[in-house]
Amino acid sequence: MKEIVKERDRNKQKFLELKDKHKGERCFIIGTGPSLRISDLDKLKDEITIASNKIYLAFEYTDWRPTYYTINDFVVARNNREIIASLPYYKIAGRCTEPIFGNDPTFLYFEGVNEKVKEEEAYYPPFSKDIVQYIGGGYTVTYVNIQLAYYLGIREVYLIGIDFSFKVPSIKHPDAHYGEVIISCGEVNHFLPNYRKTGETWTVPRLDFQRIAFQKSKAEFEKVGGKIFNASRTTKLDVFPRVDLDSLF
């Protein structure tokens, strides 16, 4: 019990140190859709960036590294446990992945949404302005990353690699931890063709719920004079105003 309390206190302190750390700066939140180019990452070496999941597959081809790395997908975490744990910086991870990574001190676990938070929120999904307390899931790690950016004091956010379109196979996995898990049949939904191998499991993307989450984040940023732009080269996400990525440099 003492170890649990100690770990929670360490998490709280680390998150408190991040509060408004990048106030007044802009940041790029990086998705892993097919429209993402390695050359785009090269442009971002001097920018504040947040990236997730298997973005580390790009490291072989670029000197760029994310300022912050996040993961909130149990299936991705389980399938790639060793390499994610080996990344040489703090990993900001959903509490749902704690059974996988344990008390590894390089992980900062954030809490998910409890029933009390759900009841208090007038508009679901919850958008957290204080990630010490919790972060809303929104069915996409990009929503997690937007809340992280908000907590960091950033009010100018650019999304790239968010294609908002998936080819979904029909083969389902019988041993689902949560949600609906499917088995890859070689479909390409990411920036590198080897991102997900045939036979690998992944979670069904719920674009309908993601859209609601993005609408919520847009509203919350606009309340404080902030803006979220979609700078993805190819995208079906129409919630945020579009901007040409190359024009930003």
CATH number of the domain enclosing 78: 3.40.50
d(CA 130, CA 133) in angstroms, rounded, equals 6
Is residue 191 in some structural domain? no
- pLDDT over threshold 70, residue 121: no
3-state SS, residue 37: coil
Check: CB of residue 43 under 8 Å from CB of residue 36: no
Quote the tokens at residue 143. Answer: 């929503």
Domain that holds residue 40: 2-166+207-230
Return the amino acid letter for 130: D
Q: State mean pLDDT over 48-67.
A: 98
Is residue 242 in some structural domain? no
Is residue 141 in some structural domain? yes
d(CA 29, CA 206) in angstroms, rounded, equals 19
Return the amino acid letter for 72: N
- pLDDT over threshold 60, residue 176: no
Quote the tokens at residue 249. Answer: 């440099």
3-state SS, residue 33: coil
- pLDDT over threshold 70, residue 167: yes
Is residue 195 in some structural domain? no
Between 4-18, 86-100, 145-159, the lowest mean confidence (pLDDT) is in: 4-18
Q: Distance from first CA to last CA of the chain, Å, rounded?
A: 50
Residue-level length of the chain: 249
Quote the tokens at residue 112. Answer: 């998910």
Between 32-46, 109-123, 215-229, the lowest mean confidence (pLDDT) is in: 109-123
Is residue 221 in some structural domain? yes
- At 238, is the pLDDT very low, low, confident or very high (cuts 50, 70, 90)? very high
Is residue 183 in some structural domain? no
Return the amino acid letter for 241: P
Is residue 182 in some structural domain? no
Between 11-25, 49-63, 101-115, 186-200, the lowest mean confidence (pLDDT) is in: 186-200
Find, among 159, 162, 170, 160, the residue nearest to 218 by Cα.
159
Is residue 149 in some structural domain? yes
